[in-house]
């Protein structure tokens, strides 16, 4: 039985990845900054909390990282931790940089220190590319980050590449484009849209305030994307992969799809608020996942309209419980 250590197991991707690995017969362990205080609500929602052993670990503390890896003795480590909000990174640039870059570096150094055949996955981000324009970005597209979050993720990506080449570690980065699910935290714009639309559909007289809805994103389904993480570590050699659907949609299209699922006209309920625009914004973000298809036999199964409908369905079901 393989043992996997998921750093950041309480988040959307961590929970779905834990579910997938359990289905594949893994012994799954996870970390949180304070495992005693964290509620691990996503694991509970998926019905797997009692099947996962959790540990407290501060990724920016090398001693803490060493202690947990020594206890768990994992075959695979998945690094999904760190500050994950692009918008929040403008307000917390130092914390974002430290949590992403120092955390990644400590994990790589720990693997090198133990000199064990541990396979390592690092959560990269399409935000590193900046505007992709009309050409879908792939693994060879240069990075041009436009947020503190993207700068941190770009630095972590090159850390992984350096350790792979310098120390022969089995270390991979998945450059994941936007991916959502009902487990996406409420502060993210997609969940903000879904929640407000569902409340409006139930008779609440409120308006939904949004920033720039002309931005275009390549939206995928989170359970699809965590499968790519697993597949990267099963491949015969370590490499980096762009993970995307290959299709872009405007945020306005996502809004329309959500409201249409509820038989509502979004234009009757949405107000554009320029104070919500970011200091710098990516206009178009699109990925080319052909390498993942060719080498990992991975491809996205769901596109944006399916994702919008699934998130609405889950939100309505949650509202009925209260």
Respond yes or no: is residue 56 known to be catalytic: no
Alpha carbon distance 37, 146 (integer Å)? 34
Closest residue by Cα to residue 28 from 58, 62, 3, 65: 3
Catalytic residue from among 127, 230, 249, 302 = 127
- Residues 190 and 311 occupy one common structural domain: yes
Alpha carbon distance 153, 160 (integer Å)? 11
- Residues 139 and 200 occupy one common structural domain: no
Respond yes or no: is residue 32 known to be catalytic: no
Is 55 part of a structural domain of the chain?
A: yes
Per-residue pLDDT of the chain (322 residues), as tens digits, is 999 999 999 999 999 999 999 999 999 999 998 888 889 999 999 999 999 999 999 999 999 999 999 999 999 999 999 888 888 889 999 999 999 999 999 999 999 999 999 999 999 999 999 998 878 999 999 999 999 999 999 999 999 999 999 999 999 999 999 999 999 988 889 999 999 999 999 998 899 999 999 999 999 999 999 999 999 999 999 999 999 999 999 999 999 999 999 999 999 999 999 998 888 788 999 999 999 999 999 999 999 999 999 999 999 998 887 6
Catalytic residue from among 149, 225, 241, 302 = 149
Alpha carbon distance 81, 7 (integer Å)? 5
Catalytic residue from among 125, 126, 173, 285 = 125
For residues 97 and 159, the answer to whether their CB atoms sit within 8 Å is: no
* Phi, psi for residue 118 in degrees, rounded to 5: -85, 130
- Residues 65 and 148 occupy one common structural domain: yes
Respond yes or no: is residue 149 known to be catalytic: yes
* Beta-carbon-side half-sphere exposure of residue 252 (alpha carbons within 13 Å): 8
Would strands 27-32 and 53-56 be described as parallel, antiparallel, or unpaired?
Answer: parallel
pTM listed for this prediction: 0.94
Residue that has been written with the tokens 């993210």 in this structure: 188
- Residues 307 and 165 occupy one common structural domain: no
- Residues 204 and 164 occupy one common structural domain: no
For residues 285 and 177, the answer to whether their CB atoms sit within 8 Å is: yes
* Beta-carbon-side half-sphere exposure of residue 94 (alpha carbons within 13 Å): 0
User: How many distinct structural domains can be found in the chain?
Assistant: 2
Q: What is the CATH number of the domain that holds 270?
A: 3.90.25.10
């Amino acid at each position: 039985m393989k043992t996997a250590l998921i750093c950041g197991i309480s988040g959307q991707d961590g929970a779905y990845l834990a579910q997938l690995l359990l289905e594949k017969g893994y012994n799954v362990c996870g970390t949180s900054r304070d495992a005693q205080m964290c509620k691990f609500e996503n694991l509970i929602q998926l019905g797997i909390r009692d099947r996962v052993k959790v540990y407290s670990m501060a990724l920016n503390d090398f001693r803490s990282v060493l202690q947990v890896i020594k206890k768990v003795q994992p075959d695979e480590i998945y690094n999904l931790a760190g500050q994950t909000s692009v918008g929040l990174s403008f307000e917390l640039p130092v914390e974002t940089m430290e949590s992403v870059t120092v955390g990644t570096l400590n994990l790589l150094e720990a693997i090198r220190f133990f000199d064990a055949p541990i396979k390592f996955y690092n959560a990269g981000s399409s935000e590193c590319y900046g505007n992709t324009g009309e050409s879908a970005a792939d693994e060879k597209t240069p990075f041009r980050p436009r947020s503190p979050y993207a700068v941190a993720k770009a630095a972590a990506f090159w850390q992984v590449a350096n350790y792979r080449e310098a120390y022969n570690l089995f270390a991979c980065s998945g450059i994941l484009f936007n991916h959502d699910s009902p487990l996406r935290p409420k502060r993210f714009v997609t969940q903000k849209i879904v929640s407000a639309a569902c409340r409006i559909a139930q008779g609440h007289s409120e308006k939904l305030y949004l920033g720039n809805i002309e931005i275009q994103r390549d939206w995928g389904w989170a359970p699809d994307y965590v499968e790519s993480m697993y597949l990267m570590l099963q491949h015969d050699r370590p490499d980096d992969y762009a993970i995307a659907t290959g299709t872009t949609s405007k945020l306005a299209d996502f809004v329309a799809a959500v409201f249409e699922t509820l038989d509502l006209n979004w234009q009757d309920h949405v107000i554009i608020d320029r104070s919500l625009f970011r200091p710098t914004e990516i206009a178009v973000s699109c990925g080319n996942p052909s390498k993942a298809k060719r080498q990992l036999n991975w491809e996205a199964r769901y596109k944006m309209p399916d994702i919008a409908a699934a998130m609405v369905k889950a939100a309505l079901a949650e509202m009925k419980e209260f």
